[in-house]
Structure 1
Amino acid sequence: MASDHPVVRLGDYVDACLGKMLDAQKNRGELHPYLGNSNVRWGSFELEALSTMRFEDHEEERYGIRDGDLIVCEGGEPGRCAIWRGNAPMKIQKALHRVRTKAGLDNYFLYYWFLRAGRTGELEPFFTGTTIKHLTGKALAELRIPLPPIDLQREAARVLRSLDEKIDLNRRISQTLEAMAQAIFKSWFVDFDPVKAKIAAKTEGRDPLRAAMSAISGKAEAELDALPPEAFEQLAATAALFPDEMQASELGEIPKGWAFKSLADIAQFASGKIEVSALTEDLYISTENMLENRAGITRASSLPSVATVPSFKAGHILVSNIRPYFKKIWTARFDGGRSPDVLAFEPIDYLWAEFAYNLMYQDAFFEFMTRTAKGAKMPRGDKDAIMGWRFPCPGGHLMIAFSETVRPNYAHIESLNSQNKSVSELRDTLLPKLLSGELAVAEVDA
């Protein structure tokens, strides 16, 4: 039971330090990448476009991190932390605590304790400040944590880690499926590979249709005849939708018969309102709980204090309109409510919904949003400009063919997301019980 475990002062069981102040102009030494507050997620790190700072030789050890270090955010959301894995050289900036456990305290047990304490509000009394609250090094040392025997700590952490590893594996599979869909989109509608294959085949006296089939399937032409009859016929039907010529346009060469169209030709802004009282944190999408770099969404931390918000429906494409360079986009898998700063696009024809999503997923779309945005400190996309964004558009049959091709990917992703939700709920139920000793690991394994 929880009362059987001693409660100890954290500072007696860890070595901790804050990162380096941002004073790069005053320092000598080599430039090194470093982690800041925004690079630490709940249990993971965002490592794209890291900033660099100069560190002198004597600062290498003080501000460097190594495998197994717990990195805790000094400000912002209490409890946000992650464990650094691997030996890639990395430093930390002042916004972070580097915490190394001593004998008697398992680093993953402490990590899960921070996650739980952040959610329960247990950490908030230790944060100081008014506008932005901070967890000072002194306050971190004074935290009180339960200390079961080390073997029980490790066993509890093992169970929780196994659930997190399942979630992470599903996420990586989802990312692979997403990347596969994007690769097909780029091949068909950006690089025009099937069209170029037909053109080359005509020049060389080969069958243009089979050349396009090879480009679409990734198989050599000699392998096509080994396909099952239904798969062969479907592949041939898709390849037939691509022209065998290019044509000039005001924005460069595009496949013959295609035209530059605007986003408004394939999607419209969704309308509608929903009562906030009808929502939960799982059904509300704001720019805060949309993830950067097209990584989807997380659960909202709270609901807005207004009566109604704009609604969205399953199948709508949601895009954060604030700071579009963060590239936040998600296809809704359920009905819900959203912040006014989250745009909802409704495909004009749901048969090409996956085409519309993959089109807006492109860097070119977010670069256009950023270029035409209004405002300096908090740029927002211009809704009129967004709907005027132009792209080379194929015929409707080809958009439908693409959507049908990648739809199984997104069905699988949805299944994996559903699994992750169940596993996350199980982990969150077990976490406080395992940490406190209310539930024995043997009972979970059984």
Structure 2
Amino acid sequence: MLPMVKSNSPKFKEYQVKDITLNVAMGPFGSRITKDNFVSEGVPVIKGQNLSDGRFNDEEFSYLTEEKADDLSSSNAFPDDLVFTHRGTLGQVGILPAKFERYVVSQSQMKLTCDPEKVDPMFFYYYFCSKGKDDLLKHESGSGVPAISSPSTTLKNLTVEIPSLAYQKKVASILSAFDDLIETNTRRIEILEEMARRIYREWFVHFRYPGYQDDEFVDSGTDEFDAVPEGWDLKIMDEILEHYIGGTWGQEEPEGEENNPAYVIRGTDIPGGRSGNVDDIPLRFHKQSYINSRKLQHGDIVFEVSGGSKDQPVGRAMLITDTFLSELDCDDVVHASFCKLLRSDKSILKPEILYLHIREIYDDRRIMKYQVQSTGITNFKFTFFAENKQMFIPPMELQEKFQEKVSPLFKQMYILGKQINRLKETRDLLLPKLISGKIDVEELYQLGNQNNVD
């Protein structure tokens, strides 16, 4: 049982945000940042995608020159600043790491600098993941693109209730411990997937698989390789795939024949799903016949066929495993309309090899040849892909050796993903109670120390 607050627990006091912070500022207005300003390295620009996963997602930045960042000095942000989305996907908040000396917030964000003598930045970040977020969202405007009304003024005038600085730091350290473990497990997952991908490249791109020295190599007859092992068949995707089908979206609530629940994996769920993250996968209602032909099973691949952008080609993919499916509390899981289910004929090609091949051609951008731009969205020419994309098929004995080598890596990735989900659940249970003082932090510390001694 969690220790509840006693009469000697710290008093919480009310403040306005402007009284405990040094600065609240908006991102640049209008066209002060355009695509023409972006360079390959420099000062990173914070966008909504950087605030979408944990304390901060420090990947996929766009960059500005130092000179351009100086020109936007009022929109510069620094380590330990909080960043909020005020237009678009509301509710997003992040705390800036010390990876860079400074950042620039984009047009849809605003930043807050804490007064370190009055409020701990990490505590304030967690505050705005809980009660503070709810209070801020009460000021959402009523029409058009979701937005906070008069965002910087609203944030400055927001009333918050916080404990002493020392108590804040203890709360922040408890919650940070969960996020530290989550980030450690996430890095371990990335390492495991990179190990699987390196083995794939070593065996099936560089052809340095076990026993390759004893094989004869012949002209490949393709642009992809100069020479390939003799006897490896060349097949098109249409021959490799046993089943493929577009997705379904269904209804938010049961309606008519669409009354059967199933989780729906979207393209946007693919990056997190590879790490076992099931937090945002929606449960919707479908016709049973749609579920029957699309129900995902171990070894299937969810493949994105519409969406993308200039910097993110369409064609992201995710390998489905039993471990991943077990995390969703519903027997049926399907894929969304902008995705396809790919199921390999396992007597021809093991799914792990097909998945890693798709990841390889995505990362080196060979997949771009199967894309077409239409009405502002990128679509995948799947029929052309199925009829023209070729793969050299290794002997089944070699495939089975590869599968034995990489399957434990994928299993461990999803086990770590399950651990991440449990850590998130516990953190999210504690978060509002710690922030509001409903759980006694001092007793939690004592319990932690006793467990360490034991």
TM-score (norm 1): 0.79
Q: Which has the higher contact order (CA 8 A, sep 6+)?
A: 2
Secondary structure of the structure 2 residue equivalent to 1:141: helix
SS at match of 1:191: coil
Counterpart secondary structure, 1:312: coil
Q: Secondary structure at the match of 1:126?
A: coil
Match of 1:5 in 2: 12
- Size of the aligned set, in residue pairs, is 400
Kept after mapping to 2: 8 A contact 1:269/1:346: yes
CA 130–137 in structure 1, closer or farther in 2 if over 3 Å, else same:
same
In the alignment, is residue 112 of structure 1 matched against residue 126 of structure 2? yes
Contact 1:34 1:51 in 2 (8 A): yes
Aligned partner of 1:188 in structure 2 is 203
Partner of 1:440: 440
Tell me: CA distance 1:242–1:289, structure 2 relative to 1, closer, same or farther (3 Å): farther
| Displacement of 1:354 | 1.5
Could you list the per-position Cα deviations for residues 191-245 of structure 1 after superposition, in whole angstroms to 9, with x for gaps in the alignment? 2234xxxxxxxxxxxxxxxxxxxxxxxxxxxxxxxxxxxxxxxxxxx42697232
Whole-angstrom distance in 1 between the partners of 2:383 and 2:131? 45
Amino acid of the structure 2 residue aligned with 1:348: D
More moved, 426-435 vs 283-292? 283-292
1:258 to 219, 225, 232: 232
Give matches, 1:391-402, under 5 Å.
Answer: 391-402=391-402
Which ranges of structure 1 fall in alignment gaps of 5 or more residues? 195-237
Paired residue for 2:216, among 218, 234, 244? 244
Q: Is the 8 A contact 1:293 1:327 kept in 2?
A: no
| 1:323–1:370 CA contact under 8 A, matched in 2 | no
| CA shift for structure 1 position 286 | 1.5
Deviates more, 1:184-193 or 1:347-356: 347-356
Task: Report which stretch shifted further, 426-435 or 375-384.
Answer: 375-384
Paired residues of 2:18 and 2:157 also in contact (CA < 8 A): yes
Residue 368 (structure 2) aligned to one of 366, 370, 385: 370
1:289 deviation in Å?
2.6
Q: C-alpha displacement at 1:270, in angstroms?
A: 4.5
CA deviations on 1:231-271 (whole Å, 9 max, x unpaired) are: xxxxxxx4269723232413343222223322233334456
For 1:47-66, list aligned pairs within 5 A: 47-48=59-60, 50-52=62-64, 55=67, 59=71, 61-66=73-78
The residue identity in structure 2 corresponding to 1:193 is R
Determine helix, strand or coil for the equivalent of 1:123: helix
Greater displacement, 87-96 / 291-300: 291-300
Report the more deviating stretch, 251-260 or 12-21: 251-260
- Name the aligned partner's letter for residue 184 of structure 1: I
Aligned to 2:264: 284
Distance 1:321 1:129 in 2: 33
Unaligned runs of 5+ in 2: 326-331, 448-454
Pairwise CA distance, 1:174 = 0.8
Aligned ranges for residues 290-329 of structure 1 at < 5 Å?
A: 290-291=270-271, 297-300=277-280, 302-304=282-284, 310-324=294-308, 325=313, 328-329=316-317
Give per-residue Cα distances to partners, 1:66-98, cap 9 Å, x unaligned: 221112112223221221111524222222111
Query: Distance in 2 between the 1:239 and 1:261 partners?
Result: 23
Aligned-pair CA distance for 1:151: 1.5
Which residue among 74, 81, 96 is the counterpart of 1:69? 81
| Residue 166 of structure 1: how far off its partner (Å) | 0.5
**Distance in 2 separating the partners of 1:299 and 1:293:** 9
Q: Residue 313 of structure 1 aligns to a residue in which SS? A: coil
Aligned position for 1:126: 139
Would you tell me which structure has more helix in proportion to its own residues?
1
CA distance in 1, matches of 2:43, 2:429: 40
The 1:442–1:331 alpha-carbon spacing in structure 2 relative to 1, beyond 3 Å, is farther
Q: 1:354 aligns with which of 352, 355, 373?
A: 352
**Which residue does the alignment assign to 1:216?**
none
Cα pair distance change 1:147/1:74, threshold 3 Å: same
**How far apart in 2 are the matches of 1:131 and 1:44?**
27
> What is the TM-score of this pair, normalised by structure 2?
0.77
Letter in 2 for 1:130: S
Partners in 2 of 1:57 and 1:349 — Cα distance? 53
Give, in whole Å, the separation in 1 of the partners of 2:216 and 2:430. Answer: 59
Percent identity between matched residues is 18
Return the alpha-carbon distance in structure 1 between the equivalents of residues 298 and 273 of structure 2: 21
